[in-house]
């Protein structure tokens, strides 16, 4: 059977590039690397879930109904103000947030401060994976650096005027189409780089057709998880039946005429073959008795 319009909207596809896939509305991929950390479910307020490191120095908040869907912070201790903050909006794929959370899970230990490393003096340290993937630096506003993907549907902006805040973006401008991840100036560059690496990862992500915004769909490649079902044979229409009948009648008429002609040819008497003229037979002398 073929998919109906409604079935097509719920059909699952591999989506590439992943930075245009949008959010699936499920936080699980982003929380997967820290699933063993303490979870705090909040009933009141915009933040619905906070996952913290065991010592509470790292906090990962999920705001399920807000424009800024994810908020990640790190501090010197459980009660100090954050040293840095990363915010991901509601269009950012959770598979890209996973790049940051996986790096934090790898960095954290009770006696480690690597997730609090000071920023590098080299502005490109956090976006090296973008250059490695073929992204190019382009002209930008004074005091900023802009890097753009080959398809021009994603990029990064480093704002030197704001102590090198970094914004990774993807998709056309608009509330329902633009994904953004913003890192404050104190964010360690290796954590930004881990997120950038997840952004340019060529592996596709899985989405249903309805999750892809119509304005984004022309820029993505959709590959069904399952092959198309075989097409059901279409029942012939009355017009089809009439055409088949007419074709069969014409074929019978043609065969009948051909048989009649053959029969007429076979009833004619055979035409004698002409005798080929030859040399005269010589007259032999009669023998003497």
Is there a domain that residue 251 lies in? no
Is there a domain that residue 240 lies in? no
pTM listed for this prediction: 0.77
Q: What is the pLDDT along the chain (289 residues), one digit of tens a residue?
A: 345 577 888 899 999 999 999 999 899 999 999 999 999 999 788 999 999 999 999 999 999 888 999 999 999 999 999 999 999 999 999 999 999 999 999 999 999 999 999 988 888 999 999 999 999 999 999 999 999 999 999 999 999 887 889 999 999 999 999 999 999 999 999 999 999 999 999 999 999 999 999 999 999 999 999 876 666 666 778 877 778 877 877 777 766 665 655 655 555 555 555 555 555 555 555 555 4
Is there a domain that residue 245 lies in? no
- pLDDT, position 268: 55
Task: Tell the residue number behind the tokens 């073959």, with chain if given.
Answer: 273
Is there a domain that residue 75 lies in? yes
DSSP string, 100-148: HHHHHHHH--TT--GGGPPPPSSGGGGGHHHHHTT-EEE--STTEEEEE
Is there a domain that residue 262 lies in? no
* SS3 (DSSP) at 208: strand
Q: Which domain holds residue 175?
A: 5-224
- pLDDT, position 166: 97
Return the structure tokens found at 124. 């490109």
Q: How far is Cα 269 from Cα 153, in angstroms, rounded to an integer?
A: 86
Name the domain count of the chain.
1
Is there a domain that residue 157 lies in? yes
Element holding 49 (H helix, E strand)? strand 49-52
Is there a domain that residue 30 lies in? yes
Is there a domain that residue 263 lies in? no
Q: How far is Cα 284 from Cα 279, in angstroms, rounded to an integer?
A: 15
Q: Residue 214 CB: number of other CB atoms within 10 A?
A: 8
């Amino acid at each position: 059977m073929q998919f109906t319009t409604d079935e097509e909207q719920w059909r699952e596809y591999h989506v590439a590039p992943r930075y245009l896939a949008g959010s699936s509305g499920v936080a699980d991929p982003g929380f997967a690397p820290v699933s063993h950390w303490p979870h705090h479910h909040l009933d009141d307020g915009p933040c619905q879930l906070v996952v913290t490191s065991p010592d509470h120095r790292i906090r990962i908040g999920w705001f399920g109904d807000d424009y800024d869907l994810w908020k990640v912070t790190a501090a010197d201790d459980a009660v100090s103000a954050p040293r840095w903050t990363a915010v991901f909006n509601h269009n950012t794929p959770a598979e890209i947030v996973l790049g940051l959370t996986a790096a934090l899970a790898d960095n954290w230990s009770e006696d480690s401060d690597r997730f609090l490393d000071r920023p590098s003096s080299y502005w490109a340290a956090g976006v090296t994976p973008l250059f490695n993937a073929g992204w190019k630096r382009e002209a930008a506003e004074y005091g900023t650096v802009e890097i753009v993907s080959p398809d021009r549907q994603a990029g990064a902006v480093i704002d030197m005027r704001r102590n090198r805040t970094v914004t990774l973006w993807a998709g056309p401008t608009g509330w329902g189409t633009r994904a953004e991840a913003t890192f404050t100036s104190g964010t360690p560059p290796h954590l930004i780089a881990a997120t950038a690496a997840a952004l340019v990862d060529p592996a596709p992500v899985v989405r249903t057709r309805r999750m892809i915004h119509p304005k984004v769909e022309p820029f993505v490649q959709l590959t069904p998880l399952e092959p198309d079902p075989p097409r059901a044979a279409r029942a012939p229409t009355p017009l089809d039946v009439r055409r088949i009948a007419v074709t069969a009648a014409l074929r019978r008429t043609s065969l009948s005429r051909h048989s009649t002609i053959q029969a007429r040819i076979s009833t004619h008497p055979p035409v004698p073959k002409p005798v080929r003229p030859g040399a005269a037979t010589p007259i032999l002398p009669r023998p003497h008795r």
